[in-house]
Amino acid sequence: MTTAVDTTKPAREAPYEGPLLDVRDLHVEFVTRDGVARAVNGVNYSVRAGETLAVLGESGSGKSVTAQAIMGILDMPPARIPRGEIRFRGQDMLRMGREERRRIRGRKIAMIFQDALSSLNPVLSVGFQLGEMFRAHHGTSRKEAKDKAIELMERVRIPAAKQRVNDYPHQFSGGMRQRIMIAMALALEPDLIIADEPTTALDVTVQAQVMDLLAELQAEYHMGLILITHDLGVVADVADKIAVMYAGRIVETAPVYELYARPAHPYTRGLLDSIPRLDQKGQELYAIKGLPPNLLRIPKGCAFNPRCPRAQDVCRVEVPELFPVTEDDGTALAGRGSACFFWKETLHDR
């Protein structure tokens, strides 16, 4: 696991100067029968080699849609990307041809999905599905691909890999299956891994093991990692920086510990307050009032305003941009931003 106190420092041994992945002003919308659902409304984020970015948000916040847009696995139509850039090593992937894009998928950017059972093909053995990566991208022979599959399974510490290589996904436990997903993503040693709620479907005890394994392998291969989750607990140990999403926008970015210590957006604050804590035992648990917005009808102004305890008139009219967050004396806080007109007040709130 990388210990990055200063997230702005260039990554060690980065094969590419600058961010591996740079998402600029990305918009994604879905054309439905009831209207256009704006799932992603101008997202900016970047990841460097060796760095872990956690994207936090409720379902419907656009965090998974952004990831799928990066992977190029959105279903278009109904989805469309009216605006934005997704630069990988400086090249905008949205302008690439289909074949060029395919060569990046799996080889340069790999993805780990939430539900390993449904994400693995039920009628093919795991060995076959792992080996397929080498066969498709490197033209490896069937025999050799199988050996590599066993190697991969050993890497992610699946016991008796040799015997289990011909087993089918349903014969593995949930944790083991997720390890296989990880092995598959790691197979070609990609530059970047996107993990979409990799531990949500697992038991709590297994969650930690899988997360540790992922972090360990990430450090070893010096990969960029985008970790998508709604679980603040998962994020804390692993991530370098966090982007909090709400209604298709990033509402706050910060290095992970600073976000926990001093959130600068009322939504983040609400999320943190709704985590049960031992020292508050017996007290009523805080809950953000209201429901996430309907993306067909996102509220005017700041999308969070109907639920925000701090909302003023300006919030109902104007959309706040991501303001840089500074100390009172104007000292810049590296990597921090908040899309709230009252970030200052929120920051001081305690």
Partner 1 sequence: MGSYVLRRVLQMIPVFFGTTLLIFLMVYTLPGDPVAALFGEKAADPAVVASIKHKYYLDQPIWKQYLHYMGNLFQGDFGTSFTGRPVTDIMAGAFPVTIRLALLAFVFEMILGLVLGLVSGLRRGSVQDTLVLILTLLVISVPVFVLAYIAQTVFATNLGWVTPTVQNSYDLSQLMLPAIVLGSLSLAYVARLTRTSIGENLRADYMRTAVAKGLPRRTIISRHLLRNSLIPVVTFLGTDLGALMGGAIVTEGIFNVQGIGNVLYRAINQKEGPTVVGIVTVLVIVYLVASLLVDLLYAVLDPRIRYA
Partner 2 sequence: MPDIHDEDSYEPHPKPGVSHLDYAGEQGMAVEQETLVESDVVKREEARSLWGDAWRDLRRRPIFLISAVLILLLVIMAIFPWAFTDADPRKADLVHNYLKRPDWTDFFGAGWFGYDGQGRSIYARVVYGARASITVGICVTAAVTVLGGLAGMIAGYFGGGVDAVISRIIDIFFGIPLLLGALVLLNAFSTRTVWSVVVALGFLGWTQIARVMRGAVLTVKQSDYVVAGRALGAGTGRLMFRHILPNAIAPVIVVATIALGGYIATEATLSFLGIGLQDPTISWGIDISSAQKVIRTAPYVLFFPAAALSVTVLAFIMLGDAVRDALDPKLR
**In 187-247, which residue ranges form alpha helices assigned H by DSSP?**
204-221, 232-238
Q: Does 31 bind partner 1 (CB under 8 A)?
A: no
Q: Which two tokens mark 290?
A: 């209201």
Q: How far is CA 174 from CA 56, 81, 114, 119, 331, in A?
A: 23, 34, 11, 12, 47
Window 6-35: residues binding partner 2 (CB under 8 A): 30-34
Taking residues 270 to 299 in sequence order and writing x for each that binds partner 2 by CB under 8 A, - otherwise, the string is: ---------------------xxxxxxx--
- Does 115 sit near partner 1 (CB under 8 A)? yes
Q: Which of 322, 343, 341, 335 is nearest to 42 (CA)?
A: 322
As a whole number of Å, the CA-based R_g of the chain is 21
Buried b (16+ CB within 10 A) or exposed e, 14-35: beeeebbbbbeebbbbbeeeee
Question: Which one of partner 2, partner 1, none interacts with residue 60, CB within 5 to 8 A by kind?
Answer: partner 2
Per CB under 8 A, does 118 bind partner 2?
A: yes
Instruction: Give the pair of three-digit tokens for residue 1.
Output: 């696991």
Between 157 and 176, how does the x/- string for binding to partner 1 read (CB under 8 A)? -----------x-xx-----
Q: Is 324 in the site for partner 2 (CB under 8 A)?
A: no
CB nearer to partner 2: give 79 or 334.
79
- 73 is an interface residue for partner 1 by CB under 8 A: yes
Quote the least distance from Cβ 32 to partner 2, whole Å.
6
Q: Which range touches partner 1 (CB under 8 A), out of 25-33, 112-120, 151-159, 213-221?
A: 112-120
317 binds, among partner 2, partner 1, none (CB under 5 to 8 A by kind): none
The reply on whether position 76 binds partner 1 by CB under 8 A is no
Look-up of token digits 């460097």: 48
Burial class (CB in 10 A: 0-12, 13-18, 19+), 319: middle
Tell which one of 1, 79, 117, 208 touches partner 2 (CB under 8 A). 79
List the x/- string, 139-168, binding to partner 2 by CB under 8 A. Answer: ------------------------------
Question: What tokens appear for 226 in the block?
Answer: 């985008």
What is the rounded CA–CA span in Å between residue 348 and residue 170? Answer: 51
* Strands of 91-92's sheet in order across: 35-47, 21-32, 79-88, 91-92
Least distance to partner 1, CB of residue 139, Å = 11
Is residue 183 classed as helix, strand or coil in its secondary structure?
Answer: helix
* Piece of 84-92, 103-111, 201-209, 319-327 that binds partner 1 (CB under 8 A): 103-111
Contact 315, 305 (CB under 8 A): yes
Residues 50-69 interacting with partner 2 (rule: CB under 8 A): 59-60, 64-65, 68
Q: Give the one residue of 2, 52, 61, 119 binding partner 1; rule: CB under 8 A.
A: 119
- Hey, what are 344's tokens? 């200052």
Amino acid at 346: T
Q: Total number of residues binding partner 1 (CB under 8 A)?
A: 28
Kindly identify the residues of this chain, within the stretch 180-219, that bind partner 1 according to CB under 8 A.
184
Looking at 34-42, 133-141, 230-238, 262-270, which segment touches partner 1 (CB under 8 A)?
133-141
65 contributes a contact to partner 1 by CB under 8 A: no
CB-wise, 39 or 264, nearer to partner 2? 39
Rounded Cα distance, 16 and 195, in Å: 22
The end-to-end CA distance of the chain, in Å, is 31
Q: Write the DSSP string, 29-90.
A: EEEETTEEEEEEEEEEEEE-TT-EEEEE--TTSSHHHHHHHHHT---TTTEEEEEEEEEETT
Binding residues vs partner 1 (CB under 8 A): 71, 73, 102-107, 110-111, 113, 115, 118-125, 132-133, 136-137, 168, 170-171, 184
